[in-house]
Amino acid sequence: MQRTFRLWWKTAVILSAFTVIAACSSGEEENGDSNTSDETEDSSDNEGSEGEGAEGLSGDFEIQYFVGGYGDEWWKEVIGDFQEEHPDLNIIEHAGPNINEEMRTRWVSDDPPDVVYIDGAGSSETQMVEDNQLMNLTDWAEDIELEDGSALMDSFIVEPNTYDGELYSLPLVFDTWGTWYDKAWFEENDWEVPTDFDHFMEVMGTIQEEEGIEPFVTTGQYPYYFLRGVLNPAFGSAGGDELLADLVAGEEGAWTSDETLNVMKKVEEMASAGLIDSGYAALNHTQSQMNFLLHENAFIPVGFWLPNEMENDTPEDFQYGFTPSPFQDEGEPYVVVPDLRPLAIAENAENPEAAKAFVEFVFNREYAQLFSEYTGAIMNISDVDLTENPNVPEYLQTANEMINDPDQVEIHSLPYPMSADLEEPISDALVALMSGDITAEEFTERAEEAAADYRE
Amino acid sequence: MVQSKKERYGFLAFCLLPTFILFLIFTIYPLFSGMYYSFFEMSGSSSNKEFVGLANYVKLLNDEIFPHTIWHDYFLVITKVIGIMILATFFAVALTQLRIKEAPFYRIVFFFPNIMSIVVIGILWMFIFNPDLGLINSGLEALGLEDWTKAWLGDPDTALSALVLPSVWAGIGLFMLMLMGGILTIPKSFYEAATVDGANGWQQFWKVTVPLVWPQIKNSILYIVITTLNGSFIIVQVMTEGGPDNSTQVMGSYLYQQAFQRNNFGYGATIGVAILILSLITVLLLQKFMKREKIQY
């Protein structure tokens, strides 16, 4: 009996000790656990030492990238090429649609990957800069050159975001929002592509009458689609970069300014004319996109990734047409306000040499061509001629041509992405306005209150 | 064989110690660390944090959205308790007392939603409520009730009520089984005696069944209340993300939004503390009000 008791006691102690050890295991082990399905590890077996100089890079090199509507083919190819160039480097990829959430514990415990592509839900460049998580690239970026010897900093379509004049990321993807329509359906019915807001209202009215549908749809669960896809260009058209900067910063009076109110009046006009899908507030982005593909609606504001994201659901006779959101006044050019998706190096990167080499490697016009082929979108590098590339979709060639023609399209930009702390309450008010529950004036007051809270 | 005191304590330690350690690590430690973080301003994305004392609690008291989230939570608690308990009791009595031949089949059918993930249930019901392609609006149209169709999840007036249906549907099976277990332990002779005394079915239900399965009813209600206060955010997150315009925002989803979407982790932790306090008060009050003498016949 005594022996049995001792056996029980020992087992209990061992079990308890095991539990404690398992729960309190080191950060290294935890990180090991997190490297599961989304990761692929290079077969080379390099341990320990950090890379020294771009020529002889070695050691572990970790990269985190979000995989959304653009897929991951481009990343795989670029990383594969980089690996070929640096065979001694052990590249560890952290990728997937929820990678920002999955990697959060790594960032919190100051053990981040070396390079991060900031995109998708749960990522915020502004917050990362505020939390001192990104390396200051200001001086280093000045010396980066493209394959033809031109300076990278002079080759962006849109300038990088800066924070008090300091640079913490390099804009990789020129993510442009706009309004989509079915080109084939429009041609069949002789509907015109809207050229300004009044024309937009006229075309939507015609479609509403002829088809008996509410022509405009967006996702109410993620109102930032409308905010970024329609309102930002409208604000840009009404007040230029200055107004956009004030709105993003939540400056006093920006959200109640006349320019802002005029834009919001247009939204109110759309809502009161019954042009917005009455069920939009319940729809998530894929549901709204599905409705659009099924001709339940005629217009939808989404980014360049729409055709790629909905590839498997697109009807055969559907032809994607893209126009910058027509919210500008008559006689004014279209406006696009790109969302830049940047690449950054972690402040606590364990292999900064490899990280810098990778960032330099990625910014290349050949990869910019490839990016457009794989994703149907544009990399933020100028002078990339897509017209000769037969693998680039037609809508992208048209859009690219428009964007590069300043008479047709003005490009305005945000100084930095709007903080979620401001965007969320404004999105709530936006849903209420688009549902017809509040007026444009009430919207601007609510937005101004949200901005005041944000400033505190 | 007589166990010595030492052996007895040793056996108890063997049984309790591992569980207790797990409880400390996975319940007590997060509880206190949550309280600790509520005194800080931090993004939750990095280890940086700044001590702000009670500032997050002051902010919570002045937050215009938070009182609505409390109401939404208790609306779900009340409607779920009523809906689930009425239907679960009805089905439990029907399947045990009415001698239905297909009872085992129905038991499986009613329990089926309990083995499905709540996320799957949420997605399924999103399709059912879809304004254009959903079953409910299509059904109403088929019945000639086009005027009744609406965007159930997109209208602030109906969105919260629309969440009750999947929550009740998903909950009936488990509580039905719990109540059936209770009902089946009641000796048949009690009902025979009640019948001889002239009690009809309704009277038998109130005077015999309910008092004798009261412990199961009480536990079921407590369980529904606790799981709703702590877990309703899943169905909200999947089906509406708290919208439209916060009309379905519950405390849990608001916590999630603040902590993980708006990078106010410290404030999110404060909301978590509020949920803890409200849940504790609710459970204590419920236990007080539902206290009954144990009935034995």
The interface pTM score, or ipTM, of the predicted complex is: 0.81
- Return the pLDDT at A43: 37
Q: Which domain holds residue B260?
A: 63-289
- Domain borders along chain A are 34-175+340-379, 177-337+398-455
**Could you tell me which residue, A259 or A120, shows the higher pLDDT?**
A259
Q: Out of A1, A8, A279, whose CB is closest to B154?
A: A279
Structure tokens at B234: 């899943």
3-state secondary structure chain A: CHHHHHHHHHHHHHHHHHHHHHHCCCHHHHHHHHCCCCEEECCCCCCCCCCECCCECCEEEEEEEECCCCCCHHHHHHHHHHHHHCCCEEEEEEEECCHHHHCHHHHHCCCCCCEEECCCCCCCHHHHHHCCCECCCHHHHHCCECCCCCEHHHCECCCCCEECCEECCEEEEEECEEEEEEHHHHHHHCCCCCCCHHHHHHHHHHHHHHHCCCCECCCCCCCHHHHHHHHHHHHHHHHHHHHHHHHHHCCCCCCCCHHHHHHHHHHHHHHHCCCECCCHHHCCHHHHHHHHHCCCCCEEEEECCHHHHCHHHCCCCCCEEEECCCCCCCCCCEEECCEEEEEEEECCCCCHHHHHHHHHHHCCHHHHHHHHHHHCCEECECCCCCCCCCCCCHHHHHHHHHHCCCCCEEECCCCCCCCHHHHHHHHHHHHHHHCCCCCHHHHHHHHHHHHHHHHC
Q: How does the average pLDDT of chain A come out, rounded?
A: 87
Is A195 strand, coil or helix? coil
Is pLDDT at A456 greater than 70 in this prediction? yes
Kindly indicate the confidence band of residue A121, based on its pLDDT and cuts at 50, 70 and 90: confident
Which of B25, B130, B240 lies closest to A287 in CB terms?
B130
Q: How far apart are CA B259 and CA A33, in angstroms?
A: 24
Q: How far is B290 from chain A (nearest CA, A)?
A: 38
pLDDT at A19: 40
Name the phi and psi angles at A419, rounded to 5.
-65, 145
Evaluate if residue A10 carries a pLDDT over 60.
no
**Would you state the pLDDT for residue B45?**
85
Q: Is residue B16 part of a domain?
A: no
Whether A235 and A263 have beta carbons less than 8 Å apart is answered as yes
Q: In terms of Cα–Cα distance, which of A95, A100, A105, A96 is closest to A29?
A: A105
The pair of three-digit structure tokens given for residue B56, joined into one six-digit string: 């997050």
* pLDDT top residue among A237 and A23: A237
- Determine the residue of chain B that is closest to A433 in CA distance: B245
Q: Is residue B206 part of a domain?
A: yes
Residue recorded with tokens 């970024």 = A228
CA A207 to chain centre: 31
Using the predicted structure, report yes or no on whether residue A5 has a pLDDT greater than 50.
no
* pLDDT at site A185: 97
If you ran DSSP here, which 8-state letter would residue A49 be given?
A: P
Q: Cβ contact (<8 Å) for A280 and B154?
A: yes
Residue B296's pLDDT is what? Answer: 64
What are the pLDDT digits (tens) for A182-225?
A: 999 999 999 999 999 999 999 999 999 999 999 999 999 999 99
Instruction: Select the residue from A2, A4, A6, A8 to test the B interface by mutation, using most B Cβ atoms within 10 A.
Output: A8
Q: Which residues pair with A117 in a beta bridge?
A: A65, A343
- Residues shown for chain A: 456
Chain B residues close to A128, C-beta within 8 Å: 45-46
Task: Return the pLDDT at B295.
Answer: 67
Confidence check: pLDDT of A35 > 60: no
Total beta-carbon pairs less than 8 A apart between chain A and chain B: 136
Q: Does A435 touch chain B (CB under 8 A)?
A: yes
Averaged pLDDT for residues A91-112: 94
How far does CA A174 lie from the centroid of its chain? 9
- Is residue B20 in a domain? no
pLDDT by residue for chain B (297 residues), tens only, comes to: 667 888 899 999 999 999 999 999 999 999 999 999 999 999 888 888 999 999 999 999 999 999 999 999 999 999 999 999 999 999 999 999 887 888 888 888 888 888 889 999 999 999 999 988 899 999 999 999 988 998 999 999 999 999 999 999 999 999 999 999 999 999 999 999 999 999 998 899 999 999 999 999 999 999 999 999 988 999 999 999 998 999 999 999 999 999 988 889 999 999 999 999 999 999 999 988 887 766 666
Residue A430 Cα distances to A147, A255, A289, A334, angstroms: 45, 12, 19, 22
Over residues A30-42, mean pLDDT: 37
Q: For A24, which residue in chain B has the nearest alpha carbon?
A: B25
The count of structural domains within chain B is 1
Q: Is residue B72 part of a domain?
A: yes
Query: Residue A24's pLDDT band (boundaries 50, 70, 90)?
Result: very low
> What mean pLDDT is predicted for residues A252-276?
97
CB of A130 within 8 Å of a chain B CB? The answer is: yes
A213: nearest CA in chain B? Answer: B132
Spatial CA neighbour of A14 closest among B111, B195, B269, B18: B18
Q: Which two tokens stand for residue A221?
A: 């669960």
Q: Is A192 on the interface with B (CB under 8 A)?
A: no
pLDDT at residue A38, as a whole number: 42
pLDDT at residue A44, rounded to an integer? 37
Class of A177-337+398-455 in CATH: alpha beta
Q: Is the pLDDT of residue A27 over 70?
A: no
Tell me how crowded residue A139 is: count the other CB atoms within 10 A of its CB: 9
H/E stretch holding A59: strand A59-66
Residue B24 located in a structural domain: no
Identify the closest residue of chain B to A292 by CA–CA distance: B132
pLDDT, average across residues A236-251 = 96
Give the closest residue to A99 by CA, choosing from A55, A156, A36, A146: A36
DSSP A12-31: HHHHHHHHHHHHT--HHHHH
B105 backbone φψ class: left, alpha, beta (φ>0; ψ -120 to 50): alpha
Q: Where are the beta strands (DSSP E) in A97-157?
A: 115-117
From the list B4, B45, B261, the residue facing A107 with the nearest CB is B45
Q: What are the tens digits of pLDDT across the range A349-366?
A: 999 999 999 999 999 999
**Residues from chain B contacting residue A12 (CB–CB below 8 Å):** 10, 13-14, 17-18
Neighbouring residues of A340: CB distance < 8 A, sequence distance ≥ 6: A158, A160, A161, A171, A172, A173, A174, A175, A380, A413
Give me A422's structure tokens. Answer: 């401001």
Chain B residue with Cα closest to A107: B46
Q: Do domains A34-175+340-379 and A177-337+398-455 have the same CATH topology?
A: yes
pLDDT value, residue A16: 46
CATH 3.40.190.10: does it fit domain A34-175+340-379?
A: yes
Nearest to B43 among A20, A131, A291 (CB): A131
Residue B248 lies in a domain: yes
Q: Which amino acid is at B201?
A: G
Mutate to test the interface with A, among B14, B65, B260 (most CBs of A within 10 A): B14
CA dist., res. B204 & res. B191, Å (int): 7
pLDDT at A40 over 60: no
Distance CA B250, CA B272 (A): 12
In a domain, B17, yes or no: no
CATH of the domain at B247: 1.10.3720.10
